[in-house]
Chain A
Amino acid sequence: MTQAIGQFAAIAATALFIFALYWMNDPKSARRGVYAGVAGMTVAVLATWIQPAIVHHGWILLAIAAGFLVGVPLSRVPLTAVPQRTALSHAFGGLAAGLVGTAEYYLWLREGPEHFTIFRMSALVIEVILGFLTFTGSLMAAGKLQEVRWIPQRPVTYPGQNFVNLGVLAAAAVLGVMLVLHPTASWATTVFPIIIGLAVLFGVLLIIPIGGADMPTVISILNSYAGLAAVAMGFVLDSKLLVTAGALDGSSGLILSIIMCRAMNRSFTNVLFGAFGTVQKTKALGEQKVWKQESPEGAAQLLEQARLVVVIPGYGMAVAQAQHKVRELYDQLTKRGVTVKFAIHPVAGRMPGHMNVLLAEADIPYTALVEMDEINPEMPQCDVALVIGANDVVNPAARYAKDSPIYGMPIIAADKARTVLAIKRTKNPGVAGIDNELYVLDNTWMLFGDAKGVIGDLVKQFAGGGLH
């Protein structure tokens, strides 16, 4: 009886999960998706809990309580910290898969060799390797995003790095194959922890050469690994529900990775093994050209006289937490009859959709957020392109500079606008370490300073009656 309930619950949960993702196709129905997900999860957990094999209820309650204790604060982080929270959750997902795989292996060793079929053992080895490499890789990514002091932000590279990385992975794979063929050999219990160690090491090595600009892609790839680890766990535990949910997560990560890679005109291998932004030649573009600085008064005047303003936000807006000030500026401009649109590059920020969430937090209607492909044809009609802490995604060098690391990357055509106002924190190059000639174009005016402060000054110009 309880077994039938379990089977039925698994089917119900699968259906609910698919609906949950289906409802994400529109912001209007999206919250329903969350409820469907919660319902599916509750059904699945309860149906597992009532199985007769479960006898230690106290332990379960304790672990669940601890999960709530950590999970609730983690869900309250400021939205600018969402990329690192996401990376951290991939780490937890990987850890869970790795630990369950480890536990199962030692259980099977105790209970007898009939458990060890080639199929299940292969799935178990894949689960453990993927789980632990996702664990440390995502922890590293989260650390970089959180700017933990002892984790270098800039990509760290050394000669032979790819050779070392692939060597570590290959060693883990070879040991894994040996273990699949001889799971009960006398050396197996020594090899198993070594495989874990190699996977843990590979996760760290994989992320060391990754820079900030690549984070959206890397987070998506790690998302996909976490999903695949869950799939492998499903094979190990003979659970179709786990396989399905893991496959949904894995395919979501895969699609996002592809979109991110396309938006940077790069391949997976290039992201993971290419060490973006380090092999930079320090050749300065447009040697003698200098920026022209604009005052808040002048910038406010330009904005007020515009008919169409396109705001192009980037990571700088997130770092400065400037989204609420941007909202005030948006209000001031729309009040004066100026049309304001937000052009969102797929890789702006540190994770897919980062800018959309920040702007939504500031109550900017999502109808004002426009994708790159949609806004680019409109850019020649744009009176002012206001670049807020974005850099590489508006760099015209991507169109023609063949030696540039961002060559071929689709960009938002800010340079086609009649006037460009660019807010930049410092006079240094952006995350990818590349000079941006947009800043020295004839029709570009720079506003140097923290995005929040600069936009605050602009808003004051409007609100304080300096303009009317």
Chain B
Amino acid sequence: MSDYWSMLFVFVLATFIGLGVIRRVSRLLYTPLMSLTNAISAIAVVGSIVVVGADYPTTIRILGGVALFASMTNIVSGFLITDRMLKMFKKQ
């Protein structure tokens, strides 16, 4: 039972860290911010890897495989396009 409390604890703390850090993000960079956080939240990939890679029934692993594909697409396109956009912000 205490484990759930520690998970909720982590959630609350992480949200406050998130609010604190994001508030300082430059207004110029809101579009890259969104693609970056999107890539980061594709960390869901670790869940998908377990579902697709463990010794589970095939139908379940197919669900995991599609999820892994979706997360991987977000990771790849998210990081690449964020970097592509950030490269363009020049001072002079």
Is A59 within 8 A of B40, CB to CB? no
Is A53 within 8 A of B87, CB to CB? no
Taking residues whose C-beta sits less than 8 angstroms from the other chain, chain B's interface range is 35 or more
Q: From B49, which residue of chain A is reached at the shortest CB distance?
A: A48
Q: Give A53 to B73 CA distance when docked, in angstroms.
A: 24
Q: Give A64 to B61 CA distance when docked, in angstroms.
A: 14
Can you list 5 A-B contacts with CB-CB less than 8 angstroms, sorted by A residue number? A26-B26, A31-B86, A86-B31, A93-B41, A357-B31
Is B11 within 8 A of A247, CB to CB? yes
Is B26 within 8 A of A25, CB to CB? yes
- Say yes or no: A60-B49 contact (C-beta < 8 A), given A31-B87, A238-B3: yes
Q: From B20, which residue of chain A is reached at the shortest CB distance?
A: A251
- Say yes or no: A244-B10 contact (C-beta < 8 A), given A353-B32, A366-B89: yes
CB < 8 Å neighbour of B63 from A21, A103, A237, A248: A103
- Say yes or no: A37-B54 contact (C-beta < 8 A), given A30-B29, A63-B68, A119-B4: no
Residues of B within 8 A of A252 (CB): 18, 22, 33-34, 37
Q: From A79, which residue of chain B is reached at the shortest CB distance?
A: B85
Residues of B within 8 A of A48 (CB): 46, 49-50
Is B76 within 8 A of A72, CB to CB? yes
Is B53 within 8 A of A251, CB to CB? no
Q: Does A8 contact B (CB under 8 A)?
A: no
CB < 8 Å neighbour of A250 from B4, B15, B53, B54: B15
Is B40 within 8 A of A37, CB to CB? yes
Q: Give A68 to B41 CA distance when docked, in angstroms.
A: 17
* Residue ranges of B at the interface with A (Cβ–Cβ < 8 Å): 3-4, 7, 10-11, 14-15, 17-19, 21-57, 59-61, 63-92
Residues of B within 8 A of A22 (CB): 21, 24
Interface residues of A in 23-82 (CB under 8 A from B): 24-28, 30-31, 33-34, 37-38, 40-41, 44-45, 48-49, 51, 53-57, 59-60, 62-64, 66-68, 70-72, 74-77, 79, 82
* Residue ranges of A at the interface with B (Cβ–Cβ < 8 Å): 13, 17-18, 20-22, 24-28, 30-31, 33-34, 37-38, 40-41, 44-45, 48-49, 51, 53-57, 59-60, 62-64, 66-68, 70-72, 74-77, 79, 82, 85-86, 89-90, 92-93, 95-97, 99-100, 102-104, 106-107, 110, 117, 119, 219-220, 223, 226-227, 230-231, 233-235, 237-256, 344, 346, 351-354, 356-357, 360-361, 363, 365-367, 369, 371
Residues of B within 8 A of A26 (CB): 26
Is A249 within 8 A of B38, CB to CB? yes
- Expressed in whole angstroms, the minimum distance between the Cβ of A129 and any Cβ of chain B is 16
Q: Give A103 to B27 CA distance when docked, in angstroms.
A: 39
Is A13 within 8 A of B43, CB to CB? yes
Q: Given contacts A55-B54, A360-B88, could you give 19 more A-B pairs where the C-beta distance is less than 8 Å?
A: A24-B29, A30-B86, A41-B39, A63-B68, A70-B73, A74-B81, A92-B42, A99-B64, A103-B56, A223-B34, A226-B41, A243-B14, A244-B14, A251-B15, A252-B22, A252-B34, A356-B28, A357-B88, A361-B88
- Expressed in whole angstroms, the minimum distance between the Cβ of B92 and any Cβ of chain A is 5
CB < 8 Å neighbour of A234 from B7, B51, B79: B7
